[in-house]
């Protein structure tokens, strides 16, 4: 018999070193670290300046380990013989050593006297994991793992994208939040070394939010370090809004970075042009091989309507496609590429054609990022959409990581001029690497029940269909009823022969005439030796459909050596979320108000019960347990290790039926993992009050070194366990429901507004309410949402927070404008659930309306440093209003690349070029308009001695040297003028500009400065409403510049004789 065991990576040989000395138990300044925002993934080995160290096993005092609330491990470290164990995590604060238990972690002892930890994000800030200085081990050379630790200096991707330069302020439309980052990156600039900036970047890097690191780069001796990410400039720009990254210094005077997607789509990582140097390493490293090679793992997208010559039906919309992973474009079975040149609108089966703005990469380029343009009307690139990733593959084809466009009708195009007749064979033969799909309910003669959902299954790789151990294949003709689903699926052509290789087949539904109309995505099929077939299934578009197995094709298998079970792109046994909610237990009967439909299920989950592993219930139980009135359980036994990922239907227990409404809830996927535990993929629960149960009889007796009896939960001991009330709250009851009540000393300003706080910035908003005030009024945090019901609140430190932005999380926000402001309107809504008559509030519905106002015009002042070379104005507005920043930056050249850095007379010509940039306003919806610009000899914008440069949004006609280069077309305005000084004053001048924001929606914001045109002055443009930014001083050498005489009968500019 063949060995069916699955290889599992040993975390003692595959970990990340975490060498951050501030985690030490004797470190107490500063105390601003927060592990909640770290993108924890996999296993970590703690070190202290290159020496071994362990996590503490005892109470750690508050205000140590670089944080206010240190985290320590409640339990002894395991021995080598114990393998991987689970340990609780305690948080120390002023209420006690273990005032709050965090999500447990996993720990393993490794040969060489060190430990590895699978860390997870804590529940709040400022919490951080500690390292015990009493456990430092001096000798690390002799305890290296048996396999070499991965060195990112020898395995990375080159990121050579000049638009990331700090001096690039021309186009601010890049989005690193949409990039799927893989591994480590080396930043370059036209083939030269470059690194991230370590200080404030006000504007540049091709993005509205330029990102920089808040500390110096590490040295070679420091290894891999963590650096926090800051946004632009300002006192709150390093406040932890963005997740941190990892950095390492490499031999050859360059650095590698482990980038992660920023939280806000309008942000991008910067490259500091001041650090450019010639690369000294002569042998480039191998291009990074990510966790999986997309050239070997992709979905075929064979939809002929995407062709650039298709004009028949223009109603396709890629926004509604659940894009996931990588795709290879094909056209009727032939290879095709995405268009990389302008495609006229009205092609590719859509009104707004999408094409790639950039050439396809070569094999040596690895994975690259390319912008996407939308053609609409006469414009080839009317709008830039989120970028995609592309890779060239052996065999002359490409794969694309596609993302959802912003709107409809938009669709990706395939260029018919690139069709390739020959399809290269696969590198990995799917006849030797597949999963067995032996599910008899798929049989064409199975007509009862019809409740299966292949649209909810996460398909991995290739599948061989079987029927009780015998070969079976998909039907090739109409299936009217059967296959356990309302929409049985079959293929529209015959199966291929062994000589045909991998082919594409379209999927049909039922028997109607239009059932092969392309509503369902195609699949791939291959004939294998031994008279069987393998299929690469994808999720159907409609959940009530399932792939069929034709009982007329049953045959005995002739192959005697079964293939290895498929190893998916990631192993859910190593990548899951811990769900430790004791109310799910079958012995819990204290309350019945929990509801899993409110949970945003994502990925895989492992169930725990007070830190001990537990299984999902797989049999019927009484209907008054598991903290809900509608118990959900798994209909089928748990799989074995050899079974891989299996699918099980979901049963809902009722008073009169143990398994009713099996077609009402989505099925779950299950996998058995080494270590006697299971992981589950839960995708959807419909309605309240339904929740998944966990079986207390499955808790392992030896789950810890000191086995504890499973507690019997009662109303008096259990309800507060998972509420995590803060220091200002106390657990209590309202109408029989447990929750967090406000303590007597809780600040209660205007309780009818529930402690409402609004923070508006950068066309986004963060709104928060007091959880305890809401609960006392009868509203649970779980039922509240914004205008879009999918935008629910999250609880952070006792406050319910709601977030919206103008990119990918609009949440039903309405944009309006008046003469003075543009306004984002939304509301927080909610009502109590009344599924079983037990609700928090029967009397009240919540509808709390709020606005974020951003000024089109607003006054501001600024104190300038004597020799400042850039100027930033930070507008400070009342609560509930937004802010934006204005910068005035001088340049020496017309390309706006060389910053002005000295006296004017030292430049190559006598012109100066000024850029006035507005940050914080959405450049897709607003532009900035310079109304007035003038110069003064002193740092006083209201000086009686002035010289106008721009008047009424146009160049001053009395000064023929002024040229307005850009005004009213973006959030960056530019102009130039020839140098001058004021007659009879010092050779210095200060610049000032007044500007306002203009809404682009249907408006032309650019002024008409043609000769004889009289600009209409806005009624609200009086001085108190304009934004003013100042800059200076500019110093000049006598005899090299013009002189302005403003005291003459008529002010004039003249050139003195030298």
Q: Provide the pLDDT for residue 543.
A: 59
User: Between 363 and 765, whose confidence is greater?
Assistant: 363
Q: Are 1040 and 905 in contact (CB under 8 A)?
A: yes
The winner for highest mean pLDDT among 492-501, 692-701, 862-871, 950-959 is 950-959
Alpha helices in 912-994, H assignment, sequence order: none
Q: From CA 87, how far away is CA 78, in angstroms rounded? A: 10
The winner for highest mean pLDDT among 161-170, 586-595, 756-765, 799-808 is 161-170
Of the listed ranges 175-184, 224-233, 618-627, 789-798, the one predicted with least confidence: 175-184
Residue 527: which residues within 8 A CB-CB, separation 6 or more?
Answer: 495, 496, 497, 498, 500, 533
Neighbours of 644 (CB within 10 A): 19
- What is the helix (H) or strand (E) element at residue 773, kind and residue range? helix 771-776
Q: From CA 184, how far away is CA 189, in angstroms rounded? A: 17
pLDDT digits (tens, 9 = 90+) for 123-152: 878 789 999 988 887 544 333 333 334 678
Check pLDDT > 60 for residue 413. yes
| 877 and 975 together in one domain | yes
Q: Provide the pLDDT for residue 44.
A: 92
Using CB atoms within 10 Å of the CB of residue 516, give its burial: 0 to 12 exposed, 13 to 18 middle, 19+ buried. middle
HSE-up of 300 (CA within 13 Å, CB side)?
A: 25
In degrees and rounded to multiples of 5, residue 74 shows phi and psi of -90, 85
| 914 and 792 together in one domain | no
CA 3, 9, 11, 13 dihedral sign is positive
Angle (CA) 526 528 529, round 5°: 160
Q: Own/partner pairs for 235-244, CB < 8 Å, 24+ apart?
A: 237/200, 238/214, 240/32, 240/34, 240/37, 240/125, 242/37, 242/211, 242/267, 243/37, 243/38, 243/39, 244/37, 244/38, 244/39
Report the DSSP beta bridge partners of residue 827.
849
Does any domain span residue 705? no
Q: From CA 93, how far away is CA 109, in angstroms rounded? A: 29
Does any domain span residue 425? no
Q: Provide the pLDDT for residue 710.
A: 34
Q: From CA 179, how far away is CA 188, in angstroms rounded? A: 18
Q: Are 577 and 606 in contact (CB under 8 A)?
A: yes
State the DSSP code for 1040: S
Does any domain span residue 517? yes
Q: From CA 843, how far away is CA 840, in angstroms rounded? A: 9
| 505 and 583 together in one domain | no
Q: Provide the pLDDT for residue 869.
A: 31
**Mean per-residue pLDDT, 690-718:** 57
| 161 and 278 together in one domain | yes
Does any domain span residue 292? no
Name the token pair of 749: 């300003």
Does any domain span residue 879? yes
Report the DSSP beta bridge partners of residue 983.
none
User: Between 543 and 123, whose confidence is greater?
Assistant: 123
State the DSSP code for 493: S
Q: Quick one: three-class SS letters along 527-584?
A: EECCCEEEEECCCCCCCCEEECEEEEEEECCCCCCCCEECCCCCCCCCCCEEEECHHH
Residue 702: which residues within 8 A CB-CB, separation 6 or more?
Answer: none
User: Between 943 and 171, whose confidence is greater?
Assistant: 943
Residue 717: which residues within 8 A CB-CB, separation 6 or more?
Answer: 711
Of the listed ranges 87-91, 184-188, 867-871, the one predicted with least confidence: 867-871
Nearest to 441 by CA among 418, 423, 466: 466
Beta pairing class for 414-420 and 410-412: unpaired
| 386: helix, strand or coil | strand
Q: From CA 78, how far away is CA 81, in angstroms rounded? A: 8
Beta pairing class for 470-473 and 463-467: antiparallel
Q: Are 207 and 171 in contact (CB under 8 A)?
A: no
Q: From CA 1, how far away is CA 39, in angstroms rounded? A: 42
Check pLDDT > 90 for residue 194. yes
Peptide bond into 309 cis (omega under 30): no
Q: Are 356 and 387 in contact (CB under 8 A)?
A: no
| 276 and 305 together in one domain | no
State the DSSP code for 1015: P
Does any domain span residue 865? no
Does any domain span residue 3? no
Q: How many residues does the chain have?
A: 1058
Percent of the chain whose pLDDT exceeds 70:
75
Q: From CA 507, how far away is CA 433, in angstroms rounded? A: 23
pLDDT digits (tens, 9 = 90+) for 59-73: 888 888 988 889 999
| 830 and 886 together in one domain | no
**Mean per-residue pLDDT, 705-717:** 34
| 554 and 480 together in one domain | yes
Task: State the pTM of this model.
Answer: 0.30
pLDDT band at 906 (very low <50, low <70, confident <90, very high): very low
Beta pairing class for 352-357 and 410-412: parallel
State the DSSP code for 327: E
**Mean per-residue pLDDT, 532-552:** 86
Q: Provide the pLDDT for residue 719.
A: 53
Nearest to 468 by CA among 446, 501, 448, 491: 446
| 546 and 637 together in one domain | no
Q: Provide the pLDDT for residue 255.
A: 96
Report the number of distinct structural domains present in the chain: 7
Neighbours of 161 (CB within 10 A): 19
CATH number at residue 744: 2.60.40.3210
Domain boundary among 143, 175, 209: 143
Q: Given 3-state DSSP classes, what are the helix, strand and coil percentages for the chain, each rounded to the nearest 5?
A: 5, 40, 55
Percent of the chain whose pLDDT exceeds 90:
17
Name the token pair of 851: 């606005």
State the DSSP code for 906: G
Of the listed ranges 300-314, 420-434, 610-624, 932-946, the one predicted with least confidence: 420-434
Does any domain span residue 277? yes
**Mean per-residue pLDDT, 1012-1027:** 41
Angle (CA) 824 828 829, round 5°: 135
Q: Provide the pLDDT for residue 599.
A: 72
pLDDT band at 802 (very low <50, low <70, confident <90, very high): confident
Check pLDDT > 50 for residue 569. no
Instruction: List C-alpha distances in Å: 790 to 42, 123, 786.
Output: 30, 22, 8
Q: What is the mean pLDDT of the chain?
A: 77
Peptide bond into 544 cis (omega under 30): no
Q: Provide the pLDDT for residue 657.
A: 67
| 907 and 1031 together in one domain | yes
- What is the helix (H) or strand (E) element at residue 994, kind and residue range? strand 988-999
Q: Provide the pLDDT for residue 46.
A: 94
**Mean per-residue pLDDT, 68-90:** 87
Q: From CA 836, how far away is CA 852, in angstroms rounded? A: 38
| 693 and 792 together in one domain | no
User: Between 831 and 245, whose confidence is greater?
Assistant: 245
State the DSSP code for 271: B
pLDDT band at 522 (very low <50, low <70, confident <90, very high): confident
Q: Quick one: three-class SS letters along 194-226?
A: EECCCCCCCCECCECEEEEECCCCCCHHHCCEE
HSE-up of 737 (CA within 13 Å, CB side)?
A: 21
Q: Provide the pLDDT for residue 722.
A: 60
| 138 and 157 together in one domain | no
**Mean per-residue pLDDT, 250-265:** 84
Domain boundary among 565, 593, 619: 565
Q: Quick one: three-class SS letters along 108-150?
A: EEECCCEEEEECCCCCCCCEEECEEEEEEECCCHHHCCCCCCC
- What is the helix (H) or strand (E) element at residue 631, kind and residue range? strand 630-635
Q: Provide the pLDDT for residue 502.
A: 82
| 329 and 355 together in one domain | yes
User: Between 749 and 4, whose confidence is greater?
Assistant: 749
CATH number at residue 932: 2.60.40.4100
Supply the range of the domain harboring residue 323: 299-420
Domain boundary among 389, 420, 451: 420
Check pLDDT > 50 for residue 877. no
Check pLDDT > 50 for residue 568. no
């Amino acid at each position: 018999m063949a060995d069916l065991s699955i290889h599992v990576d040993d975390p003692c040989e595959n970990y990340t070193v975490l060498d951050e000395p501030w985690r030490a138990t004797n470190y107490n300044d500063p105390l601003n670290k927060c592990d909640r925002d770290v993108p924890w993934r996999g296993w970590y080995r703690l070190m202290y300046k290159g020496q071994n160290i362990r996590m503490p096993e005892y109470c750690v005092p508050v205000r140590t380990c670089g944080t206010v609330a240190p985290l320590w491990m409640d339990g002894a470290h395991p021995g080598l013989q114990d393998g991987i164990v689970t340990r609780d995590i305690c948080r120390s604060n002023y209420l006690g050593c273990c005032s709050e238990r965090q999500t447990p972690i996993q720990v393993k002892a490794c040969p060489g006297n060190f430990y590895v930890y699978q860390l997870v994000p804590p529940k709040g800030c400022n919490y951080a994991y500690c390292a015990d200085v009493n456990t430092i081990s001096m000798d690390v050379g002799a305890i290296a793992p048996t396999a070499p630790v991965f060195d990112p200096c020898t395995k990375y991707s080159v990121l050579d994208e000049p638009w990331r330069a700090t001096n690039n302020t021309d186009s601010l439309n890049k989005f690193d939040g949409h990039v799927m980052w893989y591994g480590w990156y080396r930043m370059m600039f036209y083939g030269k070394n470059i690194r991230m900036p370590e200080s404030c970047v006000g504007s540049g890097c091709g993005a509205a939010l330029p990102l920089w690191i808040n500390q110096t780069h590490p040295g070679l001796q420091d290894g891999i370090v963590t650096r926090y990410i800051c946004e632009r400039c300002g006192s709150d720009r390093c406040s932890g809004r963005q997740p941190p990254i990892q950095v390492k210094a490499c031999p050859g005077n360059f650095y590698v970075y482990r980038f992660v997607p920023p939280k806000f789509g309008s942000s991008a990582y910067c490259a500091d042009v001041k650090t450019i140097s010639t690369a000294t390493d002569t042998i480039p490293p191998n291009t990074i091989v990510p966790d999986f090679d997309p050239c070997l793992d992709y979905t075929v997208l064979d939809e002929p309507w995407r062709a650039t010559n298709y004009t028949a039906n223009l109603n396709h919309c890629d926004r509604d496609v659940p894009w996931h992973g990588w795709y290879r474009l094909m056209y009727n079975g032939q290879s095709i590429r995405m268009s990389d040149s302008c495609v006229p609108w009205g092609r590719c089966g859509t009104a707004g054609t999408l094409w790639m703005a950039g050439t396809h990469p070569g094999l040596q380029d690895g994975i690259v990022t390319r912008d996407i343009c939308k053609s609409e009307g006469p414009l080839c690139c009317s709008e830039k959409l989120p970028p995609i990733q592309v890779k060239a593959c052996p065999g002359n084809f490409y794969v694309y990581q596609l993302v959802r466009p912003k709107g409809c009708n938009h669709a990706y195009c395939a260029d018919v001029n690139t069709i390739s007749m020959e399809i290269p064979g696969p590198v990995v033969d799917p006849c030797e690497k597949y999963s067995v799909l032996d599910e008899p309910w798929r049989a064409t003669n199975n007509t009862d029940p019809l409740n299966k959902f292949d649209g909810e299954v996460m398909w991995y790789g290739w599948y061989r269909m079987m029927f009780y151990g015998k070969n079976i294949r998909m039907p090739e003709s109409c299936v009217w009823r059967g296959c356990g689903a309302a929409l049985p699926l079959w293929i529209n052509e015959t199966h291929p022969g062994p000589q045909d290789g991998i082919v594409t087949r379209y999927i049909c539904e039922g028997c109607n005439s239009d059932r092969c109309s392309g509503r369902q995505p195609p699949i791939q099929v291959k004939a294998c030796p031994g008279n069987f077939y393998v299929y690469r299934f994808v999720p159907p578009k409609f959940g009530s459909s399932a792939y069929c197995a034709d009982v007329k094709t049953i045959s005995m298998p002739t192959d005697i050596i079964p293939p290895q079970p498929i190893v998916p792109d990631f192993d859910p046994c190593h990548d899951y979320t811990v769900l430790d909610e004791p109310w799910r237990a079958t012995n819990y009967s204290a309350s019945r108000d929990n509801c899993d439909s409110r949970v945003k299920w994502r990925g895989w989950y492992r169930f725990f019960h007070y830190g001990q592993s537990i299984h999902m219930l797989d049999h019927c139980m009484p209907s008054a347990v598991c903290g809900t009135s509608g118990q959900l359980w798994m209909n089928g036994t748990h799989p074995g290790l050899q079974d891989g990922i299996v699918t099980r239907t979901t049963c809902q227990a009722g008073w009169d039926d143990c398994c009713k409404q099996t077609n009402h809830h989505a099925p779950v996927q299950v996998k058995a993992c080494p270590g006697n535990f299971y992981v589950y993929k839960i995708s959807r629960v419909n309605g309240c009050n339904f929740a998944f149960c966990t079986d207390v009889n499955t808790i392992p007796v030896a789950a810890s070194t000191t086995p504890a009896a499973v507690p019997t939960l009662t109303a008096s001991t259990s309800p507060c366990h998972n509420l995590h009330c803060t220091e200002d709250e106390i657990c209590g009851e309202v109408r029989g429901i447990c929750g967090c009540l406000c303590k007597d000393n809780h600040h209660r300003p205007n309780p009818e507004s529930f402690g409402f706080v609004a923070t508006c910035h950068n066309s986004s908003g963060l709104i928060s309410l007091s959880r305890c005030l809401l609960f006392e009024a009868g509203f649970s945090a779980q039922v509240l949402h914004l205008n879009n019901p999918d935008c629910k609140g999250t609880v952070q430190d006792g406050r319910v927070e709601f977030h919206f932005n103008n990119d990918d999380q609009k949440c039903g926000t309405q944009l309006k404008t008046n003469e003075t402001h543009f306004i984002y309107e939304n509301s927080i809504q909610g009502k109590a659930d009344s599924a079983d008559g037990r609700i928090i509030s029967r009397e009240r519905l919540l509808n709390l309306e709020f606005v974020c106002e951003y000024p089109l015009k607003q006054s501001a002042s600024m104190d300038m440093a004597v020799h400042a070379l850039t100027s930033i104005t930070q507008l400070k507005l009342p609560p509930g209003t937004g802010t934006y920043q204005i910068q005035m930056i001088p340049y020496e050249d017309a390309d706006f690349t060389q910053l002005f850095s000295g006296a004017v007379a030292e430049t190559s010509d006598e012109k100066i070029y000024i850029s006035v940039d507005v940050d914080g306003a959405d450049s897709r919806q607003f532009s900035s308009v310079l109304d007035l610009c003038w110069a003064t000899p002193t740092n006083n914008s209201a000086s009686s001695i002035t010289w106008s440069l721009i008047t009424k949004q146009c160049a001053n006609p009395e000064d023929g040297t002024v040229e307005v280069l850009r005004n009213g077309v973006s959030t960056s305005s530019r102009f130039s003028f020839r140098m001058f000084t004021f007659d009879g004053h010092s050779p210095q001048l200060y610049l000032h500009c007044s500007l306002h924001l203009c809404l682009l929606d249907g408006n032309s914001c650019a002024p008409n400065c043609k000769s004889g045109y009289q600009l209409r002055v806005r009624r609200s443009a009086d001085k108190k409403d304009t934004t003013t930014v100042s800059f200076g001083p500019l110093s000049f050498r006598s005899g090299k510049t013009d002189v302005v005489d403003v005291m003459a009968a008529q002010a004039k500019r003249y050139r003195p004789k030298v």
